């Protein structure tokens, strides 16, 4: 499974959550440019991705965020954070139905943050393991092994 396929799967699963009304791609701070954000927001950020030679899996690392707007008196802070933990946990567990398996342990960190609005939320770092499409290298025709003039070499 490619990175693009994994991201599409993550977003599809996230948008099925009743608490998620909007996805922010690859940087939660892009929310600052959205004064008309539709809260609750699911955002993701890529980390380092890794695999090993001969492995039939590749590990994609992400930070997942759940963000919602605080009331003026901030009385819904814990409710937002609680909903965020449940939402992110359900997203991660639901991905297993699509052969995207997470590490057995992941932790949640709650926060308050001013984006375009004053918000509260939660984030977690997660590593997702997916099967590699092919464990053998792909060979393409003529890598200029015959030193012909097909390609420019400087």
Q: What is the pTM of this model?
A: 0.85
Mean pLDDT along residues 46-68: 93
Q: What does the angle CA 76 – CA 70 – CA 107 come to, to the nearest 5 degrees?
A: 75
DSSP secondary structure letter of residue 70: P
> Thinking of the domain 3-131, which architecture would CATH place it in?
2-Layer Sandwich (3.30)
Sign of the torsion formed by the C-alpha atoms of 100, 104, 105 and 108: positive
Checking if the pLDDT of 64 tops 60, the result is yes
The kind and range of the H/E element at 58 are strand 57-69
Query: For residue range 10-36, what is the model confidence (pLDDT) as tens digits?
Result: 999 999 999 999 999 999 999 999 989
In the block, residue with structure tokens 């709650």: 110
Checking if the pLDDT of 39 tops 60, the result is yes
Checking if the pLDDT of 149 tops 90, the result is no
pLDDT of residue 55: 84
Checking if the pLDDT of 118 tops 90, the result is yes
Domain edges within the chain: 3-131
């Amino acid at each position: 499974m490619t990175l693009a396929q994994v991201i599409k799967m993550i977003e599809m699963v996230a948008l099925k959550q009743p608490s998620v009304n909007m996805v922010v791609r690859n940087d939660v701070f892009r929310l600052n440019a959205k004064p008309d954000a539709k809260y609750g927001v699911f955002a993701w950020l890529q980390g380092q991705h890794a695999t090993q030679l001969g492995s039939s899996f590749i590990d994609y690392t992400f930070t997942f965020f759940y963000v919602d707007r605080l009331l003026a008196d901030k009385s819904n802070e814990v409710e937002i954070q609680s909903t965020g933990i449940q939402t992110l946990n359900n997203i991660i567990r639901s991905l297993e139905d699509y052969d995207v398996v997470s590490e057995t342990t992941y932790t949640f960190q709650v926060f308050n943050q001013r984006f375009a609005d004053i918000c509260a939320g939660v984030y977690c770092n997660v590593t997702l393991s997916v099967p590699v499409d092919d464990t053998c290298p792909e060979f393409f025709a003529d890598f200029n092994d015959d030193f012909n003039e097909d390609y420019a070499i400087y």
